[in-house]
């Protein structure tokens, strides 16, 4: 069975007038994709507010301060420190949405961690990878809630994933 085509959408903070717009789009995505989602994790080390964050700065800084007060697990060779968030919990989801853009790495996976749906790298570069069916649901939800869909998202072309034996390497 062929895998569903996937569209790659850039969602870095720099593309939005306000960071809150990126947060709102991520919140809608998490609500729409909820049944498809598995772990949502981020690297809790080195969390830092992005300059673009405005309205929620003080609240998010309090979250960062609380995380920094927690005991750090011993870091092992070639092991990433992760903090998981239960996206079915409303407060955990709110925290994750805002902290994702403060982290060196934040990811939302499918169950079994075979598919990455959303990732933030270096606090500013963010990407969605959406199968066609999820993209359609997501865009419908954004429109229903009155959010503008970035023009390049609308025109982005979905691509079929390469077969497993052709992935990687160059």
Q: Is the model's pLDDT at 1 over the cut of 60?
A: no
User: Which conformational region is residue 131 in: left (phi greater than 0), alpha (psi within -120 to 50 degrees), or beta?
Assistant: beta
How far apart, in Å, are the Cα atoms of 92 and each of 63, 81, 86, 129, 151? 11, 18, 6, 22, 30
Largest CA distance in the chain: 49
* Across 57-67, average pLDDT: 91
For the cut 60, the answer to whether the pLDDT of residue 22 exceeds it is: yes
pLDDT tens column, 136-164: 999 999 999 999 899 999 999 998 766 55
Higher pLDDT, 159 or 73: 159
pLDDT at 52: 77
Which residues in 94-126 are b (16+ Cβ under 10 Å) and which e? bbbbbbbbbbbbbbbbeeeeebebbbbeebeeb
Q: What's residue 78's pLDDT? A: 58
Integer Cα distance of 141 and 144 in angstroms: 5
For the whole model, what pTM was predicted? 0.85
Beta strands in the chain, from DSSP E residues, in sequence order? 6-10, 40-42, 83-85, 105-109, 116-121, 125-131
Could you tell me the residue ranges of all domains in the chain?
6-164
In the predicted structure, residue 53 carries a pLDDT above the cut 80: no
């Amino acid at each position: 069975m062929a895998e569903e085509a996937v569209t790659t959408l850039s969602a870095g903070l720099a593309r939005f007038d306000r960071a809150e717009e990126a947060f709102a789009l991520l919140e809608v995505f998490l609500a729409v994709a909820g049944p498809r989602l598995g772990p949502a994790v981020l690297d809790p080390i080195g969390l830092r507010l992005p300059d673009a964050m405005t309205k929620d700065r003080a609240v998010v800084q309090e979250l960062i301060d609380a995380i920094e007060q927690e005991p750090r697990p011993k870091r092992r060779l070639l092991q990433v420190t992760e903090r998981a968030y239960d996206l079915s919990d409303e407060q955990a989801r709110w925290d994750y949405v805002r902290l994702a853009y403060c982290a060196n790495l934040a990811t939302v996976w499918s169950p079994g961690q075979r598919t990455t749906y959303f990732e933030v790298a270096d606090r500013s570069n963010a990407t969605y990878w959406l199968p066609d069916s999820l993209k359609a649901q997501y865009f419908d939800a954004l429109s229903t809630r009155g959010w503008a869909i970035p023009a390049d998202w609308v025109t982005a072309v979905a691509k079929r994933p390469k077969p497993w034996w052709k992935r990687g390497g160059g």
